[in-house]
């Protein structure tokens, strides 16, 4: 099987050809590998045996590296003990204690296989706790769940009844006045505010003026004053900005928090943590109280994913993984900025300087952010063996040598970029321009 035939066949079998739209063909240039056959450390190999340096690391979920031995060993040991039983597995308590030891603000935890499951569970708990219906999230943020409460508010809301979409309301990210105005518009109706703690774009140009922690403190107080639950979604920031995440970095106490990518090195383990008073609503001890049907799934506590999570936490604790990963991010940013300057492209290519996940911006000749130029940059990097989508997600297996390889390819790609700026990008693209995931029409 080669890349072309894989690409042709997969869409006949799987709608979208992948299991998140972010991995779809329309998100990559035409020369991207159609599928990954296997990965090891910071590298992946496609169906034709071509090797790539991986920059995306499984949508940021692989924090240590592909097929990372110490995690695999724990998983293998667990597989031999069985993975799903008729009663809870003993490893569930071990994981609960281990994860909560990282989150002293919270006393209880529920596991799940997907991030969307835990964000949706947090929303449900908040509605049950407050008796209110509305959910608020920042309009600029890209994704919180594939469930109706979130997707109903995007451009891609076909299949979601308007009545459901109307129960979600938005405010401007990192803008406390906007959140205050929302509470004033819907007095006593907002059950919860859900937000990611910080984005790479949280610099001086953001409404928080580079201080997302200050916004979060104000937003938590405001939510509490207004009787709403505050949910922090650490799906992306968890195990990247700090250990366990931005909650610790900013010293804040959300009522509930959601975790996923990165916490089990790519294995399917996600978690909802929270204050006992709210989480206990999903319990069965308060006889006589109304039951809240919280997360209840057959595979939610599959033991080998919990073993992967425990092994990942142990690696983070004993090997100071956060420092390694952030140093990789810092070195990459410095080297990329030098390269951009050496090509005199500062006004066209920028790196947003968050050491936990550097993001690249690509602009056209008029200096507008451009999907066509991003496609060109990806195409040229892929041509040189770098599987790059405009974001570099540092992992424990990335090394100084990998940064060197990235920068060599980046420098050569910028030569092409510069020529395209002068002569027009269309002549340099070998296929279609990448498209936004959230669009109304295909």
Ligand X SMILES: Cc1ncc(COP(=O)(O)O)c(C=O)c1O
- Asked if 110 and 81 count as a contact pair (C-beta separation under 8 A), the reply is no
236: contact with ligand X by CB under 6 A:
yes
Q: Shortest approach of ligand X to residue 206 CB, angstroms?
A: 17
Which residue lies nearer to ligand X by CB, 237 or 370?
A: 237
235: contact with ligand X by CB under 6 A:
yes
114: contact with ligand X by CB under 6 A:
yes
Which residue lies nearer to ligand X by CB, 145 or 379?
A: 145
198: contact with ligand X by CB under 6 A:
no
- Angle, helix 90-102 to helix 303-319, in steps of 10 degrees: 30
Which residue lies nearer to ligand X by CB, 105 or 114?
A: 114
265: contact with ligand X by CB under 6 A:
no
Q: Shortest approach of ligand X to residue 389 CB, angstroms?
A: 13
- Asked if 70 and 403 count as a contact pair (C-beta separation under 8 A), the reply is no
Which residue lies nearer to ligand X by CB, 143 or 362?
A: 143
Which segment (62-70, 96-104, 202-210, 229-237) binds ligand X by CB under 6 A?
Answer: 229-237
DSSP 66: B
Binding characters for ligand X, 54-73, by CB under 6 A (x = yes): --------------------
Which residue lies nearer to ligand X by CB, 119 or 130?
A: 119
Residues belonging to the chain: 442
Which segment (44-52, 140-148, 361-369, 387-395) binds ligand X by CB under 6 A?
Answer: 140-148
Cα distances (angstroms) measured from residue 70 to each of 39, 76, 113, 191, 402: 16, 10, 21, 42, 22
Strand order in the sheet with 270-274: 108-112, 270-274, 256-259, 229-233, 190-195, 134-138, 168-171
- Asked if 5 and 29 count as a contact pair (C-beta separation under 8 A), the reply is no
Quickly list H helices, 260-368: 276-279, 303-319, 321-342
119: contact with ligand X by CB under 6 A:
yes
232: contact with ligand X by CB under 6 A:
no
Q: Shortest approach of ligand X to residue 415 CB, angstroms?
A: 33
196: contact with ligand X by CB under 6 A:
yes
Quickly list H helices, 175-297: 176-185, 212-225, 246-250, 276-279
Number of CB atoms found within 10 A of residue 308's CB: 25
115: contact with ligand X by CB under 6 A:
yes
380: contact with ligand X by CB under 6 A:
no
**Minimal CB distance residue for ligand X:** 115
φ/ψ of 137, rounded to 5, equals: -140, 160
- Pick the closest to residue 403 from 324, 350, 343, 336 (CA basis): 336
Binding site for ligand X (CB under 6 A): 20, 114-116, 119, 143-145, 196, 233, 235-236, 260
């Amino acid at each position: 099987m080669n890349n072309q035939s894989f690409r042709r066949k997969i869409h006949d079998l799987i709608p979208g050809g992948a299991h998140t739209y972010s991995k779809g063909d329309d998100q990559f240039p035409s020369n991207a590998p159609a599928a990954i056959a296997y990965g090891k450390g910071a590298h992946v190999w496609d169906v034709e045996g071509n090797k790539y340096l991986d920059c995306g690391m499984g949508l940021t979920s692989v924090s240590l590296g592909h097929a990372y031995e110490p995690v695999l060993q724990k998983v293998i040991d667990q597989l031999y003990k069985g993975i799903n039983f008729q009663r809870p597995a003993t490893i569930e308590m071990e994981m609960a204690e281990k994860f909560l030891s990282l989150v002293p603000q919270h006393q209880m935890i529920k596991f799940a296989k997907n991030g969307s499951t835990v964000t949706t569970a947090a929303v449900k708990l908040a509605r049950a706790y407050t008796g209110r219906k509305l959910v608020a999230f920042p309009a600029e943020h890209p994704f919180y769940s594939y469930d109706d409460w979130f997707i109903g508010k995007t451009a891609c809301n076909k299949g979601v009844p308007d009545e459901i979409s109307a129960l979600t309301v938005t405010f401007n990210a990192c803008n406390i006045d906007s959140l205050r105005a929302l509470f004033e518009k819907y007095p006593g109706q907002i059950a919860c505010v859900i937000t990611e703690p910080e984005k790479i774009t949280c610099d001086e140009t953001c409404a928080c003026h580079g201080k997302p922690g200050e916004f979060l403190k104000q937003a938590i107080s405001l939510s509490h004053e207004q009787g709403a639950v505050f949910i922090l979604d650490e799906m992306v920031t968890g195990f990247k900005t700090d250990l366990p995440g931005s909650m610790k970095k900013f010293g804040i106490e959300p009522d509930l928090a959601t975790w996923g990518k990165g916490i089990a090195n790519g294995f399917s383990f996600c978690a909802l943590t929270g204050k006992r008073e709210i989480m206990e609503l999903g319990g069965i001890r308060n006889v006589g109280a109304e039951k809240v049907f919280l997360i209840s799934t057959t595979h939610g506590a599959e033991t080998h994913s919990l073993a992967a999570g425990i092994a990942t936490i142990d690696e983070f604790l004993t090997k100071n993984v956060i420092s390694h990963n952030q140093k990789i991010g810092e070195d990459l940013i410095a080297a990329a900025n030098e390269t951009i300057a050496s090509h005199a492209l500062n006004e066209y290519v920028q790196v947003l300087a968050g050491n936990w996940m550097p993001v690249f911006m690509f602009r056209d000749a008029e200096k507008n952010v451009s999907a066509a130029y991003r496609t060109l940059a990806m195409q040229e990097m892929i041509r040189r063996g770098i599987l790059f989508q405009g974001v570099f997600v540092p992992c424990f297996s990335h090394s100084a040598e990998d940064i060197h390889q990235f920068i060599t390819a980046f420098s050569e790609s910028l030569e092409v970029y510069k020529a395209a700026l002068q002569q027009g990008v269309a002549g340099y693209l070998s296929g279609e321009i990448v498209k936004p995931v959230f669009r109304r029409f295909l």
